[in-house]
Structure 1
Amino acid sequence: MNLIQSQFYTLFRYKDLLRELVVRDLKLKYRRSFLGYLWSILNPLLIMLVMTLVFSQMFRAGIDNYAVYLLAGQSVFDFIRNSTTMAMYSVLDNGPLIKKIYVPKYIFTLSKITSTMMDFVFSLGALLIVMVVTGAKFTPYLLATPVLVLQVYIFACGMGFFLSAANVFFRDIQYIYGAFLVAWNYVTPLFYPIELLPSWLRTLVEWFNPAYYYVQHFRDLVLYGCFPTMRIFVGGWIWAFVMLIFGLFVFKKTQDKFILYL
């Protein structure tokens, strides 16, 4: 825990830099875009529409409000995928700056994940639109969504710190992680019910797939109108902090050698 506390202290000192980096990332993403930030809402809507048309007839049996089921799961997984992928390149992309001045190196990784989190929050507008159109029930449990966002954010930070450090020394990690994301996407019940999986695989997914915890947590809040089970809720926090501690440990142990490989 001392490791996390020391990083929080450093983060407080450089909070203005972090804010500027996040704003820069958001502006660069939507630069010269006519619709700008509206794409954060339109993009998930378009993807949801296509996937609903493709998969609804195959997997919708036993799933109430398939559109919300699909978009809730996909939005959470997209946040994990996009934030960790961007974080993986954060140290390499800022190599020239790291060589010139002293800046806590993890700030660059954190800024990528934070800017992606802002995109994720904007994209929730698409989910609200789909909920209204499909007649989904709005319950007080929706107010607990920030807790889910915080869980996924902490988990993504941990993965991002590990990937950004690993990618400095092993450039092949970007290709390995790309293949891993494809497999991870299919073993996470995003567009199909988990009951379709064989019992042995279902057990592995329910206990050892962190994305499942966050997807199920979010669906409980927005689709089923209930608080997640204690296993899902506590398990989500455990995965988040275990990954954060692991990622910070790897990053801190290796960061002094970054300059030799940039």
Structure 2
Amino acid sequence: MRRELRGKYEKSILGFLWAFLGPLFQILIYSVVFTVVFHNNMPNYAMFLMAGMLPWTFFNDSVAQGTSIIINNAEMVKKIYFPREVLVISEVTAKLVNMLLSFIVMALFLVATRIGFSIQLVILPIAIIIEYLFILGLSLIVSSLTVYLRDLEYVINVALMAWIWGTPVMYTADGITNNLYRTLLLCNPMTAIINNYQSILYYHRWPTMWGLLIPFIESIVILIIGAVIFVKGKKRFAEEM
């Protein structure tokens, strides 16, 4: 994990500052687009956007880069024996650290906009753990399958571009009136995960019991499936590469 973090920032002038600046610029751009161009009247929309965008970026970057994590470490996989799962775990954990650093930026915005902090923050670690388990399971699946199906890396990148629009990151699910689209939102595991962050950080209300329990069960199921697929697939990683 330390190698992943150092490798990302070691040759940049600002180094780890990009962990703060990247999300900050992204939020500012989306805020301008959805408040100035599309005239969004939601109060403190930038904070709503940040509450959803930071966990989404954690998900998007982990899965996108997780597809090629085994392939990118082909020489190590072929020459050294070690639990291959370590590569995926380190990648996802490094992205988790990036998100936690980004939360520092959000904390400053919470103070600046006078939204402040609430008692609901005590449940934020649970929301983070649920998302981490879901991402880890999905990353185990895609990293293993991509070794055998190289096109999957490009398919996943396209899927992620579409996935964000099927997740209430830049809009609220309550504003969706189309029944088909609402059904798709409910079937999307990331919907409940993002809603939990928004409830805690933006609305200052407790996530519902089902809002935590259902994504937790889904995350455990995906993690188990991912572990099974990865264990079966890793036996021939060296041969395939």
Query: One fold, TM greater than 0.5?
Result: yes
Map of 1:99 onto structure 2: 78
Superposed, 1:34-113 pairs within 5 Å as: 34-57=13-36, 58=38, 60-61=40-41, 63-113=42-92
- C-alpha contact (below 8 Å) 1:137/1:225 kept by paired residues: no
Are 2:112 and 1:152 aligned? no
Residue 125 (structure 1) shift: 0.9
CA distance in 2, matches of 1:39, 1:130: 17
Residue 199 (structure 1) shift: 2.1
Superposed, 1:191-230 pairs within 5 Å as: 191-197=170-176, 198-206=178-186, 208-230=187-209
Are 2:190 and 1:231 aligned? no
- C-alpha contact (below 8 Å) 1:48/1:67 kept by paired residues: yes
CA distance in 1, matches of 2:39, 2:123: 28
Map of 1:253 onto structure 2: 232
- Runs of 4+, deviation exceeding 6 Å: none
- C-alpha contact (below 8 Å) 2:166/2:184 kept by paired residues: no
The C-alpha deviation readout for 1:141-193, integer Å capped at 9, x for no partner, is: 11222111111111110011000001000000011111100110111111122
Match 1:122 to one of 77, 81, 101: 101
The C-alpha deviation readout for 1:108-150, integer Å capped at 9, x for no partner, is: 1111111111101101111112211211131111122211111
CA distance in 1, matches of 2:209, 2:232: 34
SS at match of 1:192: coil
CA distance in 2, matches of 1:101, 1:41: 35
CA distance in 1, matches of 2:39, 2:222: 32
Residue 59 (structure 1) shift: 6.2
Are the structure 2 counterparts of residues 210 and 108 from structure 1 closer, same or farther at C-alpha, using a change threshold of 3 Å? same
CA distance in 2, matches of 1:76, 1:64: 21
CA distance in 1, matches of 2:78, 2:21: 39
SS at match of 1:64: coil
Over aligned residue pairs, what C-alpha RMSD do you find?
1.3
Are the structure 2 counterparts of residues 224 and 157 from structure 1 closer, same or farther at C-alpha, using a change threshold of 3 Å? same
Unmatched 5+ stretches in structure 1: 1-21
Map of 1:15 onto structure 2: none
Are the structure 2 counterparts of residues 59 and 220 from structure 1 closer, same or farther at C-alpha, using a change threshold of 3 Å? farther
Map of 2:157 onto structure 1: 178
- C-alpha contact (below 8 Å) 2:23/2:54 kept by paired residues: yes
Map of 1:3 onto structure 2: none
Unmatched 5+ stretches in structure 2: none
Structure 2 length as normaliser, TM-score?
0.95
CA distance in 2, matches of 1:59, 1:252: 50
